[in-house]
């Protein structure tokens, strides 16, 4: 690209009076984030997310694992009397069965724990990963943007293995870019055992990142991580391949939903990040690109999951791109931070239909 000077390091945010405000070992921003995440978890537990149709499927499978004492490979309870191969990766259902075992078979408790913990853990994973890549201030802006998005909360109201995969995957992005072999294999293996399709997209993200950074030895590292993870996953992978004809997917309506702040602030940050494609944080831009086909095949989910990279780049944009400039940009940053804060309290305005809790 002519006239574009590619760089590795992102611009540094200018110092502010808030930089040195700490509470013990934590910066004030970090303390506020962690306190709000705990508040979200406690609040969800007290309110009690409603049961929706996906919950009943996962409860049924967990009950069979609990009663049988092993993971069934034939679904004889839902498709009686003939049945069909049970192909859903079993990690979530095993965890739910373990909760049932220690709670006297209480399947409602197991599903409530999953539904209550998923959203706070996803927010925590996104904040932690963003903090590792681009610092505590950008992570705070990302966190503020993400918790203002109602659709991300309502999606986690369901028993959502995909959201659990994203929890693992966001942390995986950091450890993979640091070439931490064992941790990367562990996190990718957990993702594979949790869901069928979303881990495939994460593998594509890691592969594309490795190609972009092939001169730094990421391709051999990717091959090792993928090979070892598939080996760990091989028992269920063999089961899937043996019953491949039974696999199918159902498209969903597009369900247009555009939260204004995430798109207005995130898209410019995403586009500008291509100038820094050799920075490790560029893996989030690759994630955004890999999610695009989901727009056609799994419409309403696209509008939910694209908010993760957009929230990330909202933080990067406000902190590193806008926040690194003097003059009127400093005033613009202050106004944007104020708007983000107010949006987090009131929820952000959006274009399109809202995605309901109960479908």
pLDDT tens digits for 121-164?
Answer: 999 999 999 999 999 999 999 999 999 887 788 777 788 899 99
Residues 6+ apart with CB under 8 A from 123: 37, 40, 143, 146, 147
In the DSSP assignment, the letter for residue 298 is S
Q: Give the three-class secondary structure for 278.
A: coil
Pair type for strands 257-259 and 84-85: unpaired
pTM: 0.93
| DSSP secondary structure of 252-296 | -----EEEHHHHHHHHHHHHHGGGGTTSGGGHHHHHHHHHTTHHH
Picking from 152, 119, 102, 106, the residue whose alpha carbon sits closest to that of residue 45 is 119
**Do 216 and 253 meet the contact criterion of CB atoms below 8 Å apart?**
no
Q: How far apart are CA 176 and CA 185, in angstroms?
A: 9
pLDDT at 215: 96
pLDDT score at 357: 42
More confident residue, 140 or 357: 140
Query: How crowded is the C-beta side of 134, counted as CA atoms within 13 Å?
Result: 37
pLDDT in tens, 72-129: 999 998 887 889 999 999 999 999 999 999 999 999 999 999 999 999 999 999 999 9
Domain boundaries, the chain: 25-352
* Higher pLDDT pick, 238 / 252: 238
Q: Residue 253 pLDDT more than 70? A: no
pLDDT at residue number 123? 97
Instruction: State the pLDDT at residue 299.
Output: 66
CA angle in degrees (0–180, nearest 5) for 124-129-135: 110
**pLDDT band for position 359 (50/70/90)?**
very low
């Amino acid at each position: 690209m002519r006239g574009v000077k590619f760089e590795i390091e992102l611009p540094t945010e200018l110092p502010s009076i808030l930089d040195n405000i700490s509470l013990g070992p934590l910066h004030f921003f970090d303390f506020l984030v962690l306190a709000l995440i705990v508040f979200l978890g406690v609040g969800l537990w007290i309110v009690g997310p409603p049961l929706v149709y996906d919950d009943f499927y996962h409860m049924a499978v967990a009950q069979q694992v609990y009663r049988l004492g092993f993971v069934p490979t034939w679904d004889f309870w839902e498709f009686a009397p003939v049945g069909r191969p049970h192909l859903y990766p079993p990690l979530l259902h095993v965890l739910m069965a373990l909760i049932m075992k220690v709670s006297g078979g209480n399947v409602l408790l197991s599903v409530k724990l999953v539904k209550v913990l998923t959203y706070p853990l996803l927010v925590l994973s996104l904040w932690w990963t963003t903090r590792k890549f681009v610092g505590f201030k950008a992570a705070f802006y990302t966190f503020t943007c993400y918790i203002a998005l109602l659709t991300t909360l309502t999606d986690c109201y369901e028993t959502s293995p995909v959201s659990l995969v994203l929890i693992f995957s966001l942390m995986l992005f950091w450890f993979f870019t640091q070439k931490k072999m064992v941790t990367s294999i562990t996190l990718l293996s957990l993702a594979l055992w949790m869901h069928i399709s979303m881990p495939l997209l994460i593998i594509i993200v890691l592969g594309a990142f490795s190609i972009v950074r092939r001169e730094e030895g990421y391709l051999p590292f990717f091959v090792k991580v993928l090979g070892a993870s598939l080996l760990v996953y091989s028992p269920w992978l063999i089961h899937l391949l043996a019953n491949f004809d039974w696999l199918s997917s159902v498209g969903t309506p597009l369900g247009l939903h555009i939260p204004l702040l995430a798109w207005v602030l995130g898209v410019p940050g995403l586009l500008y990040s291509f100038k820094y494609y050799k920075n490790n944080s560029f893996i989030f831009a690759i994630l955004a690109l890999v999610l695009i086909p989901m727009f056609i095949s799994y419409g309403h989910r696209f509008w939910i999951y694209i908010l993760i990279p957009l929230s990330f780049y909202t933080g990067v944009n406000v902190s590193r791109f806008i926040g690194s400039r003097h003059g009127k940009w400093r005033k613009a940053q202050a106004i944007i931070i104020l708007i983000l804060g107010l949006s987090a309290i009131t929820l952000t305005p959006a274009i399109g239909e809202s995605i309901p809790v109960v479908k």
